[in-house]
């Protein structure tokens, strides 16, 4: 009996010591140091002092790819969009960051059939550029994707303005920086959708 009591007390003390110790350790945890040196090749981009968008030629054709019995899937990719920021610090509005937002119209076919913009999603990615001065937006799923887990909130399609890329003017090196982004597009429709040639317009807007 006494041994058991002693064991219990010892276990409790040990648990308290460990948790207390970890509490102290947590309290003493130093701030994360993210001061990482970045080497940037600085090439003078001409002309200076402007926020320029360059859109590569190309089609955003969607072709059927990976359809199942329950979902027909069409994939493609957006033309590459390059944003070049050569503005100096005093040209940039305080706290202002440039961003490219995208939204899609509904897909319409001759005869009036439509597919809502919630059926098209995208997955932005950086083609070239320094990811310290630019970040791409998160994936946006379609309304036919399962609404489970953390993706549920973003499975809404390109109905509203979704972020393609976001530039950070604070980390623009002298001489400017150029970033190229694109996005993989996915259109998902029900197998019962009426056959036809559908078309839509994706609007990419550069604002700051």
Partner 1 sequence: MRALLGRLLLAAMVAMSTVLIAVPPAQAAGSVSWSVEPVTATGDATGHAWAELTMDPGTRRQQYLRVTNRGAEAVVFSLSAADGYFTDAGRFTMLPAGRTSVDAGTWITLPASVSVEPGASAVVPFTVDVPTNATPGDHLAGVAAGIFSEQDTVGVESRIGFRVLTRVTGEVAPAVSTTATADYHPSWNPFLPGRLEVRLSTRNTGNTRLAAQNEIAVTGPLGLAARTSRADPLPELAPGDERSSTVVVDDVWPLFAMTAVVATTASDAGGNGEGVTATTRVTVPAVPWSQLLVVGCVAALLALALWDRRRRRRHWAAMVERAREQGRRDAAAGVWTLAIAVLVVLGTLAMTPSSARASEPVGVTVEISPQPEPVVTPASPGTGQALAQTGAPSSALLALAGVAVVGGGAVAWTISRRREARRASPPPLDSSS
CB nearer partner 1, residue 23 or residue 38: 23
Closest residue by Cα to residue 157 from 206, 98, 115: 115
CB nearer partner 1, residue 40 or residue 159: 159
> CA 73 to CA 65: how far, in whole Å?
6
Closest distance to partner 1 from the beta carbon of 168 (Å): 14
Closest distance to partner 1 from the beta carbon of 37 (Å): 27
CB nearer partner 1, residue 31 or residue 37: 31
Closest distance to partner 1 from the beta carbon of 16 (Å): 7
Closest distance to partner 1 from the beta carbon of 31 (Å): 14
Closest distance to partner 1 from the beta carbon of 97 (Å): 9
Pairing of strands 177-189, 72-77: antiparallel
Residue 59 contacts by C-beta under 8 Å, 6 or more apart in sequence?
A: 79
> CA 183 to CA 80: how far, in whole Å?
8
Task: Identify the three-state secondary structure at position 16.
Answer: helix
CB nearer partner 1, residue 171 or residue 203: 203
Task: Identify the three-state secondary structure at position 146.
Answer: coil
Residue 176 contacts by C-beta under 8 Å, 6 or more apart in sequence?
A: 44, 45, 48, 84, 85, 86, 87
CB nearer partner 1, residue 92 or residue 134: 92
Please answer whether residues 203 and 102 qualify as being in contact, where contact means their C-beta atoms are separated by less than 8 angstroms.
yes
Interacting residues with partner 1 (CB under 8 A): 1-2, 5, 8-9, 12, 16, 19-20, 22-24, 26, 47, 50-62, 76, 78-79, 81-82, 84, 91-93, 96, 99, 101, 103-105, 160-161, 163, 185, 197-208
């Amino acid at each position: 009996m006494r041994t058991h009591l002693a064991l219990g007390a010892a276990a409790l003390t040990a648990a308290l010591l460990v948790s207390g110790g970890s509490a102290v350790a947590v309290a003493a945890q130093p701030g994360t140091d993210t001061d990482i040196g970045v080497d940037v090749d600085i090439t003078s981009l001409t002309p200076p002092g402007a926020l320029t968008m360059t859109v590569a030629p190309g089609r955003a054709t969607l072709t059927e790819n990976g359809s199942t019995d329950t979902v027909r899937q069409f994939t493609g990719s957006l033309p590459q969009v390059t944003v070049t920021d050569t503005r100096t610090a005093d040209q940039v509005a305080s706290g202002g960051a440039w961003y490219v937002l995208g939204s899609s119209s509904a897909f319409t076919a001759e005869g009036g059939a439509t597919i809502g913009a919630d059926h098209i999603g995208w997955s932005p990615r950086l083609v070239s550029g320094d990811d310290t001065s630019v970040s791409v937006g998160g994936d946006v799923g379609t309304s036919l994707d399962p609404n489970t887990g953390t993706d549920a909130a973003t499975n809404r399609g390109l109905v509203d303005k979704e972020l393609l890329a976001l530039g950070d003017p604070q980390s623009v090196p002298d001489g400017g920086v150029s970033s190229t982004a694109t996005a993989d597009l996915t259109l998902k429709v029900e197998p019962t959708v009426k056959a036809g040639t559908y078309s839509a317009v994706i609007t990419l807007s550069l604002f700051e």
